[in-house]
Amino acid sequence: MKVFIIGVAGGVGRRVAEQLAEAGDEPTGLVRRPEQAAALAASGVRTAAGDLVAMSVDELAEAMRGSDAVVFSAGAGGRDSDDATTQVDGDGPGKLAAAAKLAGVRRFVLVSVFPEAWRERRMDAAFERYMVQKKKAETHLVLTGLDWLIVRPSALTNEPGTGRVDLGLAKTHTEIARDDVAATIVALLRAPHLKRLILEVTGGPTPIADAVEAMTGAPQ
């Protein structure tokens, strides 16, 4: 399986790519810095230099042509400028979806966020803006004709993965290891019948393969 990943050098994206490469699949993606390309190449992940915001839809389509699926796991939210949050978190998935349509890649996985994430912490305006932009991206993606899948992980940690999650249409927001989010995305990529679903995933007791299998009967 050939998978094009935006955010391939990021926490979740890199783990998705590495897990795919280890399984013999072909992950590719765009990186903004040469040292990221070298690090990923060492794990068997091929990359090209590119920036989601700077590239045109045509250029993005060329970059992903021949892929079986696209994963959007980029993010600027909360760290970069408000403009970057809008351009990457808000407009990025729609732009990438337009490119996927052009390139004939139907399968599109968007890494999103629980709507209630950290609201109890009274986060700053930049975070609220990020949340609004993430939701905007969801509303855009569900209107495309693609075989989209929205995956909302709870708060991400760098703890080692457990291989177990709690996955479903609606879950309580807690936290989850990036390793486990990545493994869930890889398992979902291998279940193409699961599409046009918004799934929430958080730390939990269910082996990832079973959790994904259990989604087969979910309403679509």
Q: Where in 86-125 is the site for ligand NAP (CB under 6 A)?
A: 88, 111, 113
Does residue 182 bind ligand NAP (CB under 6 A)? Answer: no
β-pair partners for 198: 150
Does residue 52 bind ligand NAP (CB under 6 A)? Answer: yes
For 58-86, give one letter per residue: b (16+ CB within 10 A) or e. Answer: eebbebbeebebbbbbbbbbeeeeeebbb
Task: Single out the residue of 1, 53, 98, 197 in contact with ligand NAP (rule: CB under 6 A).
Answer: 53
| 130 in catalytic set | yes
Give the interface segment with ligand NAP, choosing from 48-56, 159-167, 183-191, 199-207 (CB under 6 A): 48-56
Collapse the DSSP code of 187 into the 3-class scheme (helix H, G, I; strand E, B; otherwise coil) and give the result.
helix
Question: Which of 42, 179, 201 is closest to 111 using CA atoms?
Answer: 201
How far apart, in whole angstroms, are the C-alpha atoms of residue 5 and residue 68? 11
Task: Single out the residue of 1, 39, 142, 155 in contact with ligand NAP (rule: CB under 6 A).
Answer: 155
Give the interface segment with ligand NAP, choosing from 19-27, 50-58, 93-101, 192-200 (CB under 6 A): 50-58
Catalytic residue among 4, 72, 114, 130: 130
Does residue 85 bind ligand NAP (CB under 6 A)? Answer: no
**Cβ neighbours of residue 191 under 8 Å, at least 6 residues apart?**
212, 213, 215, 216
Closer residue to ligand NAP, CB minimum distance, 26 or 80? 80
Active site residues: 130
